Structure 1
């Protein structure tokens, strides 16, 4: 059949996720016209894009005139997917302007054509929820509980009232997903578990309840059957589309956790009011613009399982897939490319950007990776080099032992064990500050030097053996303590103060600076790259350091410029401080 002889099908919202998929599915059998907004993105190339504003009568009339001019008066079907939705849960004038009145305006305009069928995309959620074991059919009561659902219910009522000779299909699909997810609620649930977030471990509703989902391929198959069988369908045909055995929320949580982390994900029930408080805090206090909203807490125990009586009878349709069976494939696509999966599902890909870098690095490393024999040879050579370096640095540990010996014997040299004579300044400070007696402080410093010196000798001896890097770190900690001890004890002897500070600094330098920092991994030392793992650039290049250098130079220049002579006889250097007389 030539394109000119194919029946014409109009698809509104043809540039969206569902609309573009419907265009591609129907293109082989029908001439597809896409009605959509003026702004990009535009429909797939398989459909001509006729731009219009569904909220403006003149724009709708102009678009339909363009359709009549190019395609004639006969329209096989209009699949109306365009509508308004937001996550706030608040009412919005756009629900009436776009969904309700826009649908009325479009149907009235199309009634000037020879229109065979008008298909309106409603939602399964237009029905009131049910109980487990009680499936919903098309006669189940409708419940306009929230603005989005209410807009669909009102639109169905308007379309019934405005219907002419054309047949009306009220299509009520469950939540639609594809092999990568592409369902906002499903994608966010997966992301919370993938990132091990706390809000992925709590749920305010009944974990034994669930909601039906609908694979995209099954949805497209149902749409094609609706259009193909348009002549045989009832004049008004409400039809539910989705799986008949929804997976309970608790089971879905465990399935996701098992596939992503190899464990059954534990989910705790929390009171609904606490969940609402958490959602409010994230949005209003921390300003995170979180996905979870307070209204979602109110529907967390809603249960939707479907009977599909109309779809089976008039379309001979049942879904060939289920979320339970498809979930492992969805999660595998996440594990294969976390960054791409997050971007495809409209999530914050920055949360998994490190995985993107690691994947690229792993691929590059795999291309340049040496053979196993070459790697073994390189490791043996590296280990031999490290042993040679260790033995060439043994003098460092012997010198540290000598410093420890000197420190342990220094109190006897300085006579600090039984020191009784102190300067007047020391006695005055002791009295003003309310310190222990100078003799007590001198005695404490002396014994600290003895024990610290002996400990330094022991750890230095242990450091002589390869692989005892921890002993070097222990000595470094002792060196830091030795520099701080004179301040802790208010050591009254200046010579002892200077001795402890000098020995402490030398011990630190000789244990972790001169012989190289101990404990570095073999892989880290053998890595020739200058870009740290998880980075996309080297933070140590001069391009990165130059702004810091320039800022430091600028600060030093301004500091020098701000210093002025205090008197004609003396000037104070930048950064110095004057101290009052001790008797003031």
Structure 2
């Protein structure tokens, strides 16, 4: 199969390339191609395109020509102080991908949605794929994921000849994303090793997080490419992570702090440019529903190979060790690199990586 993967150098993209390389003809569409592709990425045909820009549509059409499927993974997490750019990347980028899919006559689109597309939870029962996907109002990430879902709803009605599969994973983790997650979530002055030195975890006791390993998400992508099903699939590993799991893996003592107080602290420090994590992520953590993976098990034969606690431990170890991959998106986090980019382009919450 000829498969085009947008965002092939990121957290999920690298896992998808590892899974599919050697078995399929892969085309990777990215804003910043690897300078020296190696390993599985060496067999990928790389196409440079900025999905936030309308000029990318022509490049996408050319890249999609003759493709059996497009796996759309591109999404933006920073700069958090430029929500209009994040919307242009996520929502606008999805619109441009859909235009190119139509122009190139691609028969199957696999869209990486998220648990974040769901509406606020009603209770603690895991929800299935028919739960509303209107997003969580306080989270820009959630609003944008929900907007992309509405776009796909319209697309499926207007273009029934194209199969559309939506994957809705929990938080996706792998060791190699450690450096990237540090850049997204911690101030540049905080050393990576501080992740292992957290004495207390001040968070609401009700916090529960669905999580899944990047390699398991890649396996799900492979399954849907084989089966070509329609509709949506929740992807999550057991157990849903509680504050007890978080505290154990971090080696910290949990201290209950009401979610409103946590949000206020994050909001104040974000507005003061002290740290890059916007308060919408706290709103998401407070309201995101638990999810049921039953449909993926029944129709795809998919079950996660890595449990959620092991995935979290792998991510935390990866952050502490500044784990990385030789791609621009997952590059190593070093003091020299952080200082150079801070001087040249400002904090990550305002800049777009060159």
Q: Same fold (TM over 0.5)?
A: yes
How many Å separate the matches in 1 of 2:16 and 2:239? 25
How far off is 1:315 after superposition?
Answer: 0.4
Equivalent residues of 1:202, 1:270 under 8 A apart: yes
Give unpaired runs (5+ residues) of structure 2: 187-191, 336-354
SS at the partner of 1:112? helix
Residue in structure 1 matched with residue 44 of structure 2 by the alignment: 47
Q: CA 1:305/1:348 → structure 2, altered by over 3 Å: closer, same or farther?
A: same
- Structure 2 residue 299 is the aligned partner of structure 1 residue 314: yes
How far off is 1:156 after superposition?
Answer: 1.7
Matches within 5 A, 1:332-481: 338-341=320-323
- Structure 2 residue 70 is the aligned partner of structure 1 residue 78: yes
Q: CA 1:278/1:346 → structure 2, altered by over 3 Å: closer, same or farther?
A: farther
- Structure 2 residue 110 is the aligned partner of structure 1 residue 113: no
SS at the partner of 2:246? helix
- Structure 2 residue 194 is the aligned partner of structure 1 residue 196: no
How far off is 1:27 after superposition?
Answer: 1.9
Larger radius of gyration: 1
How many Å separate the matches in 2 of 1:49 and 1:61? 15
Residue in structure 2 matched with residue 4 of structure 1 by the alignment: none
Which one of the candidate residues 221, 227, 240 is aligned to 1:223? 221
Instruction: Provide Cα deviations, 1:82-103, integer angstroms capped at 9, x if missing partner.
Output: 1222363x67222443222332
- Structure 2 residue 104 is the aligned partner of structure 1 residue 128: no
How far off is 1:316 after superposition?
Answer: 1.2
How many Å separate the matches in 1 of 2:89 and 2:314? 36
Residue in structure 2 matched with residue 267 of structure 1 by the alignment: 254
Equivalent residues of 1:53, 1:59 under 8 A apart: yes
Residue in structure 2 matched with residue 480 of structure 1 by the alignment: none
How many Å separate the matches in 2 of 1:251 and 1:131? 23
Equivalent residues of 1:246, 1:304 under 8 A apart: no
How far off is 1:280 after superposition?
Answer: 5.0
Residue in structure 2 matched with residue 247 of structure 1 by the alignment: 241
How far off is 1:306 after superposition?
Answer: 1.9
Residue in structure 2 matched with residue 375 of structure 1 by the alignment: none
Residue in structure 1 matched with residue 92 of structure 2 by the alignment: 101
Structure with the greater relative contact order (CA < 8 A, sep ≥ 6): 1 or 2? 2
Larger proportion of helix: 1
Larger proportion of strand: 2
How many Å separate the matches in 2 of 1:283 and 1:114? 44
Q: CA 1:119/1:270 → structure 2, altered by over 3 Å: closer, same or farther?
A: same
Q: CA 1:166/1:346 → structure 2, altered by over 3 Å: closer, same or farther?
A: same
Q: How many pairs are equivalent?
A: 317
How far off is 1:65 after superposition?
Answer: 3.1
How many Å separate the matches in 1 of 2:219 and 2:303? 10
- Structure 2 residue 181 is the aligned partner of structure 1 residue 184: yes
How many Å separate the matches in 2 of 1:292 and 1:56? 25
TM-score (norm 1): 0.48
Instruction: Provide Cα deviations, 1:153-195, integer angstroms capped at 9, x if missing partner.
Output: 111211221242110011111111124664838986x965512
How far off is 1:45 after superposition?
Answer: 1.6
Instruction: Provide Cα deviations, 1:48-79, integer angstroms capped at 9, x if missing partner.
Output: 112223244443224423654xxxx3x21100
Alignment root-mean-square deviation, CA: 3.4
SS at the partner of 1:176? strand
Equivalent residues of 1:108, 1:162 under 8 A apart: no
TM-score (norm 2): 0.76
Residue in structure 2 matched with residue 295 of structure 1 by the alignment: 280
How many Å separate the matches in 1 of 2:36 and 2:97? 20
Give unpaired runs (5+ residues) of structure 1: 1-6, 258-264, 351-584
Which one of the candidate residues 163, 169, 173 is aligned to 1:173? 169
Equivalent residues of 1:243, 1:305 under 8 A apart: no
How many Å separate the matches in 2 of 1:151 and 1:101? 10
How many Å separate the matches in 1 of 2:150 and 2:168? 14
Q: CA 1:208/1:41 → structure 2, altered by over 3 Å: closer, same or farther?
A: farther
Equivalent residues of 1:181, 1:187 under 8 A apart: no
How far off is 1:13 after superposition?
Answer: 1.1
How many Å separate the matches in 2 of 1:297 and 1:172? 19
Q: CA 1:103/1:191 → structure 2, altered by over 3 Å: closer, same or farther?
A: same
SS at the partner of 1:158? helix
